Amino acid sequence: MPPTTLNQSHKDEEHAQYRNPQHLPTPEPESQNTLSGHQGQHVESQTPNTPPVPHERPTGGDSSVQSSLVPTIVVGNGSAQPSSNNIVVTGVEDNGNDNQGSTSPIEIDERTIEEAIRDLINEKHSEEGDGELTQIVLHRHDRLDEVCSFFDALNVEIREKCLKFDKEPKDYLIPSRQHHDALKFLGNYLNSLKPEELLQELPNIQNQCDMVKNQLSRVNLSHDLPPQWNIDVKEIMEYTRANIPAGDHSDIPDSDADDLDALESRTRKEQHQYSSCEVLSWWPKGTGTQTFVRYGDKSAPIYRIRAGSYEIYDKASVPRLWTTSSRGTAKKMITEAGEEDEVWKDTRSDVKRIIAVGWKVPDDDDSEIGALPFIKPERGAIYPQTKTMVLWKDGQTTLEGRSFIRRIANGAAFRGDEMIYQKAKELEAAYEKKNGPLQSSHKVKEEDESEYAGSDIDGSNVSDPESSSASSKDKVLRRDKSKRSHKHRASAKEEDIKKLERKLERLKSGKRVTHSTRQ
Give domain status of residue 459, yes or no: no
Please give the pLDDT value at position 463.
41
64 shares a domain with 6? yes
118 shares a domain with 105? no
Share of residues in the chain with pLDDT > 70 (%): 57
* 491 against 429, higher pLDDT: 429
* 269 against 338, higher pLDDT: 338
Give domain status of residue 487, yes or no: yes
Tell me what the pLDDT averaged over the chain comes to: 70
515 neighbors 503 (Cβ within 8 angstroms): yes
502 shares a domain with 431? no
Give domain status of residue 464, yes or no: no
Please give the pLDDT value at position 353.
93
105 shares a domain with 60? yes
Backbone dihedral angles phi then psi of residue 390, each to the nearest 5 degrees: -110, 130
218 shares a domain with 203? yes
Please give the pLDDT value at position 80.
41
pLDDT tens per residue, range 98-122: 545 555 555 555 678 888 888 888 7
* 107 against 350, higher pLDDT: 350
Region 183-199: what's the mean pLDDT?
A: 86
426 shares a domain with 279? yes
284 shares a domain with 193? no
What number of H helices and E strands is found in the chain? 12, 11
Region 201-223: what's the mean pLDDT?
A: 88
477 neighbors 451 (Cβ within 8 angstroms): yes
Q: Of 68, 70, 56, which is closest to residue 25 (Cα–Cα)?
A: 56
210 shares a domain with 159? yes
Of 8-22, 132-146, 182-196, the range with the highest mean pLDDT is 182-196
* DSSP code at position 320: B
Question: By three-state DSSP, how is residue 374 classified?
Answer: helix
207 shares a domain with 179? yes
Give domain status of residue 268, yes or no: no
Name the pairing type of β-strands 302-307 and 331-336. unpaired
Around 201, how many Cα atoms within 13 Å sit in the side-chain half-sphere? 17
Asked whether the predicted pLDDT for residue 409 surpasses 60, the reply is yes
Please give the pLDDT value at position 426.
94
Q: Of 315, 307, 300, 303, which is closest to residue 286 (Cα–Cα)?
A: 307
Asked whether the predicted pLDDT for residue 128 surpasses 60, the reply is no
pLDDT tens per residue, range 443-498: 433 344 334 343 333 334 434 444 444 444 454 445 555 545 555 555 666 777 77
Give domain status of residue 264, yes or no: no
143 shares a domain with 68? no
Q: Of 311, 319, 303, which is closest to residue 271 (Cα–Cα)?
A: 311
Give domain status of residue 461, yes or no: no
- Whole-angstrom distance, CA of residue 286 vs CA of residue 368: 28
Asked whether the predicted pLDDT for residue 390 surpasses 60, the reply is yes
84 shares a domain with 28? yes
Asked whether the predicted pLDDT for residue 68 surpasses 90, the reply is no
- Whole-angstrom distance, CA of residue 501 vs CA of residue 22: 110
Of 5-19, 190-204, 371-385, 467-481, the range with the highest mean pLDDT is 371-385
Asked whether the predicted pLDDT for residue 70 surpasses 50, the reply is no
Cα 191 from chain centroid (whole Å) = 33
Give domain status of residue 465, yes or no: no
pLDDT tens per residue, range 326-348: 899 999 999 988 888 999 999 99
Global confidence as pTM? 0.38
**Contacting residues for 225 by C-beta, under 8 A, at least 6 apart:** 121, 174, 219
Average the pLDDT over each of 55-59, 322-326, 424-428, 443-447 and give the range with the smallest value: 443-447
Give domain status of residue 209, yes or no: yes
pLDDT tens per residue, range 228-257: 888 888 888 888 888 888 655 444 444 444
Dihedral sign, CA of 427, 429, 434, 436?
positive
231 shares a domain with 337? no
Asked whether the predicted pLDDT for residue 91 surpasses 50, the reply is no
How many domains does the chain divide into?
4
**Contacting residues for 140 by C-beta, under 8 A, at least 6 apart:** none
- Domain of 92? 1-109
Q: Of 195, 186, 175, which is closest to residue 242 (Cα–Cα)?
A: 195
